[in-house]
C-alpha cells in the first residue's frame, strides 16, 4: 500500500521551517517604501539645513545692510556735519558782515539739529554693544563740550573781535573738535569692522552650507546606492533560482526544491513554486501507482492523494476513475464471453463425439448387414463368428453410451 502524499506550503505545515527574522523577510514593497522614505528624509534634511543656513546668511546680510552700513553712514555723516559746522563757525569768526553772520548762525543751528537727530537715531537703532555705546557717548560728550565752547565764541565773533575768535578756534576748540571727530571715525571703523565680521560670517555659513550639502548628498547617494544594490541582489538571486527551477521542471525534472527562505514577495513566490512542484510530484507518483494497479487488473483501487487533484487537476482523477470503470465493465464482459465460449466449445466437442459414435455404429451396422447377407451361405462357423462380431459391436455401443454419460 502506497503511503499518503504530503503537501508542502500552507496545506502542509510539516515541511515549513521556522523563518529567521531579518531584513530579507521585509516585503519588497516595504523595502522600496523605506528607500523612498530615506531619500525623502535626506532631501528634507538637506532642505532644512539649507533653509537654516540661508536664514543665517540672510541674517548676516540683513545685519550688514540694516545695522552696520547705516551706522557707518551715520558716523561718517556726523563727522561730515560737524566739519561743516566748524567751517561755518570759522567763516563766522572772520567775517564782519552782520547779515552773513545771521545767515551762518541759522545754518549752524540747522546743522546742530541734524547732528542731534543723527545721534538720537544712532543711539536708538544702531548701537550693538557696550563698546559701540561707549564710543558714541564719548563722541557726543566731546561734541557737547565743543558746542559749549562754540556758544562762547559766537558772541565774541559777532562783536567783530576776529583775533580773539580765531585764537579760540585754533585753540581749545580745535582740540575738542579733533577729539569728537576722532570718536566719529572710531564709530565708523567699529561698524566697518562689524560689517566685515558679518560678511565673513556669511561667507563661512555659505561655505558650511556647501560642505553640508556635498557631504549630505554623498551620504544619501551612498545609502540609496547600497539599498538599491541590496534590493537588486535580494531580488535577482532568488528570481534566477526560480527561473532555473521552473526550467528544470519544464524539462521533466521534478527533483527540484528552491531553498530561498523569506517572508517577502519572492519568498511567497518561491513557496508557491515549491508547492506546485510537490503537487506535480504527488500527482505523478499517484498516477504511477494507479496505472500500476490498473495494469494488475485492480480496478477497485483508490487514489491516495485526492487532495492534490484540485482545480484544473481534478479532471485527471475523474478521467482515471472513468477509465477504471470502463475497464472493469470490459473485464466483466470478457469473463462472461469467455464463459460462453467455453460452454459452446464443450457443447461442440460433445456433439462431434456423438456424431463420431453414430457414424461408427452406422458403419458397424452396415458391415454387419453385409456380413449377414454374405453369411447365409457360409458355414456355422461363420455364423458363430457373426454372432461374436455382433456381441462385440453391442459392447462397443454400450461403452460409447457410458462414456457419453460420463462426459
The model's pLDDT over 345-377, given as tens digits with 9 standing for 90+, comes to 888 888 888 888 888 888 878 887 778 777 665
**What end-to-end distance do the CA atoms of the chain give, in Å?**
46
Q: pLDDT higher for 182 or 407?
A: 182
Q: Please give the pLDDT value at position 11.
A: 43
Least confident among 53-62, 81-90, 313-322: 53-62
Predicted pLDDT of residue 63: 67
Mean pLDDT calculated for residue range 304-312: 76
Mean pLDDT of the chain: 78
Taking the C-alpha atoms of residue 22 and residue 235, their distance in angstroms, rounded to an integer, is 15
Would the pLDDT of 151 be above 80?
Answer: yes
DSSP 384: H
Checking if the pLDDT of 344 tops 90, the result is: no
d(CA 85, CA 64): 30
The residues, ordered by sequence, that sit 6+ positions from 157 with a Cβ below 8 Å of its Cβ are 92, 93, 101, 165
Highest mean pLDDT among 34-38, 231-235, 270-274 belongs to 270-274
pLDDT at 18 over 60: no
139-153, 279-293, 330-344: range with highest mean pLDDT: 139-153
Domain edges within the chain: 24-234, 309-406
- CA-based nearest residue to 150, from 96, 103, 99, 88: 88
**Res 14: pLDDT:** 39
The b/e string for 66-91 (b: 16+ C-beta within 10 A; e otherwise) is ebbbbbbebbbbbbebbebbbebbbb
The pTM for the full model equals 0.48
- Give the DSSP H or E segment for 270: helix 265-295
Q: Mean pLDDT across the stretch 253-270?
A: 78
Q: Is the pLDDT of residue 16 over 60?
A: no
Which cell is 391 given? 456381441
Q: CA–CA separation, 144 vs 155, rounded Å? A: 18
Mean pLDDT, rounded, for 228-250: 82
Is residue 110 scored above 90 in pLDDT? Answer: yes
* Low-confidence winner among 11-15, 297-301, 339-343 (lowest mean pLDDT): 11-15
pLDDT at 335 over 60: yes
Confidence of residue 13 (pLDDT cuts 50, 70, 90): very low
Q: What percent of the chain has pLDDT over 90?
A: 4
CB 169 within 8 A of CB 39: no
160: left (phi over 0), alpha (psi -120 to 50) or beta: left
Which cell numbers hold the place of 361? 455404429
Lowest-pLDDT range of 17-21, 164-168, 182-186, 242-246: 17-21
Amino acid at each position: 500500500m502506497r503511503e499518503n502524499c504530503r503537501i508542502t506550503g500552507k496545506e502542509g505545515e510539516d515541511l515549513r521551517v521556522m523563518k529567521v527574522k531579518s531584513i530579507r523577510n521585509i516585503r519588497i514593497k516595504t523595502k522600496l517604501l523605506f528607500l523612498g522614505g530615506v531619500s525623502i528624509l535626506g532631501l528634507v534634511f538637506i532642505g532644512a539645513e539649507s533653509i537654516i543656513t540661508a536664514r543665517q546668511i540672510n541674517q548676516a546680510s540683513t545685519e550688514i545692510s540694516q545695522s552696520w552700513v547705516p551706522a557707518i553712514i551715520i558716523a561718517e555723516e556726523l563727522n561730515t556735519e560737524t566739519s561743516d559746522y566748524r567751517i561755518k563757525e570759522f567763516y563766522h569768526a572772520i567775517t564782519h558782515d552782520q547779515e552773513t553772520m545771521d545767515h551762518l548762525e541759522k545754518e549752524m543751528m540747522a546743522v546742530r539739529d541734524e547732528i542731534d537727530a543723527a545721534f538720537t537715531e544712532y543711539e536708538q537703532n544702531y548701537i550693538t554693544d557696550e563698546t559701540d555705546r561707549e564710543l558714541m557717548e564719548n563722541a557726543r560728550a566731546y561734541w557737547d563740550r565743543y558746542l559749549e565752547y562754540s556758544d562762547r565764541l559766537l558772541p565774541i565773533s559777532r562783536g567783530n573781535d576776529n583775533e580773539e575768535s580765531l585764537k579760540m578756534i585754533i585753540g581749545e576748540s580745535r582740540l575738542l573738535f579733533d577729539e569728537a571727530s576722532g570718536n566719529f571715525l572710531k564709530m565708523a571703523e567699529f561698524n566697518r569692522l562689524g560689517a566685515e565680521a558679518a560678511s565673513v560670517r556669511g561667507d563661512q555659513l555659505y561655505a558650511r552650507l556647501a560642505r553640508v550639502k556635498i557631504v549630505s548628498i554623498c551620504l544619501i547617494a551612498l545609502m540609496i546606492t547600497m539599498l538599491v544594490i541590496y534590493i537588486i541582489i535580494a531580488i535577482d538571486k532568488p528570481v534566477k533560482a526560480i527561473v532555473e527551477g521552473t526550467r528544470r521542471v519544464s524539462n521533466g525534472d521534478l527533483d527540484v526544491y528552491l531553498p530561498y527562505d523569506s517572508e517577502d514577495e519572492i519568498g511567497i513566490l518561491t513557496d508557491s513554486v515549491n508547492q506546485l512542484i510537490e503537487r506535480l510530484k504527488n500527482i505523478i507518483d499517484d498516477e504511477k501507482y494507479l496505472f500500476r494497479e490498473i495494469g494488475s487488473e485492480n480496478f477497485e483501487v483508490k487514489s491516495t492523494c485526492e487532495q492534490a487533484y484540485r482545480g484544473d487537476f481534478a479532471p485527471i482523477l475523474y478521467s482515471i476513475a472513468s477509465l477504471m470503470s470502463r475497464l472493469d465493465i470490459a473485464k466483466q464482459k470478457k469473463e462472461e464471453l469467455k464463459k460462453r465460449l467455453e460452454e459452446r466449445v464443450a457443447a461442440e466437442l460433445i456433439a462431434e463425439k456423438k456424431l463420431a459414435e453414430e457414424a461408427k455404429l452406422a458403419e458397424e451396422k452396415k458391415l454387419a448387414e453385409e456380413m449377414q447377407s454374405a453369411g447365409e451361405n457360409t458355414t456355422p462357423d461363420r455364423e458363430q463368428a457373426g454372432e461374436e462380431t455382433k456381441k462385440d459391436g453391442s459392447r462397443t455401443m454400450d461403452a460409447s453410451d457410458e462414456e457419453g454419460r460420463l462426459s
